């Protein structure tokens, strides 16, 4: 666009009219501000937490206690030596975690504890731990 200003001596003065461009930019700005509000995404159904946790009928840790008089207990239930292997097989038959602990009396010979460990291994217990007073104190604080 050429405009002649003040005669032919001064030359041609060129100026771009930016008012229509500003109007176009404002219209585009309004359009891009409105468009995101009109869009809607997919509906999502998030899983909700269970209202009631199922009770675990089985205790998490199995502890076999061996007393100085030869008595045995599995988690405070008395068991005879003859029924120890069968009881352990029933307990660990449906469990994925095959870990058990042995707690022996202080006056007990290790030979008796070793016999219990042998029966546990024969019953399918894969990992055997020995309970000590230090471990019991840690378990009580947790």
What is the strand order of the sheet 72-74 is part of?
77-79, 72-74, 62-66, 99-104, 127-130
Taking phi over 0 as left and psi of -120 to 50 as alpha, with beta for the rest, 14 belongs to: beta
Furthest CA-CA distance within the chain: 128
Contact 3, 13 (CB under 8 A): yes
Distance CA 116, CA 102 (A): 8
Q: Is the pTM of the predicted complex or chain greater than 0.75?
A: no
Distance CA 100, CA 75 (A): 10
Q: Closest Cα partner for 76 from 92, 61, 93? A: 61
| Per-residue pLDDT at 73 | 92
- Asked if pLDDT for residue 18 goes beyond 70, the answer is yes
pLDDT tens digits for range 77-131: 999 989 999 999 988 887 888 889 999 888 888 888 889 999 999 988 888 888 8
Burial class (CB within 10 angstroms; exposed 0-12, middle 13-18, buried 19+) of 108 = middle
pLDDT tens digits for range 34-62: 877 666 678 888 888 877 766 656 567 88
State the pLDDT confidence band at 32, using cuts at 50, 70 and 90: confident
What domains lie within the chain, and their CATH numbers?
Answer: 3-38 (no CATH), 62-141 (3.30.420.270)
Rounded to an integer, what is the distance from CA 42 to the centroid of its chain? 28
| Per-residue pLDDT at 96 | 81
């Amino acid at each position: 666009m050429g405009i002649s200003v003040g005669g032919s001596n001064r030359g041609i003065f060129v100026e771009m009219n930016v008012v229509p461009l500003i109007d176009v930019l404002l219209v585009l700005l309004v359009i891009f501000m409105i468009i995101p509000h009109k869009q809607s995404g997919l509906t999502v159904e998030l899983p909700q937490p269970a209202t009631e946790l199922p009770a675990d009928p089985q205790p998490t840790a199995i502890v076999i206690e061996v007393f100085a008089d030869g008595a045995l207990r599995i988690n405070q239930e008395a068991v005879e030596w003859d029924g120890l292997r069968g009881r352990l097989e029933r307990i660990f038959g449906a469990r994925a975690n095959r870990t058990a602990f042995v707690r022996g009396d202080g006056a007990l010979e290790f030979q008796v504890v070793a016999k219990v460990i042998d029966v546990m291994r024969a019953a399918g217990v894969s990992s055997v731990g020995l309970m000590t007073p230090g471990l019991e104190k840690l378990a009580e604080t947790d």
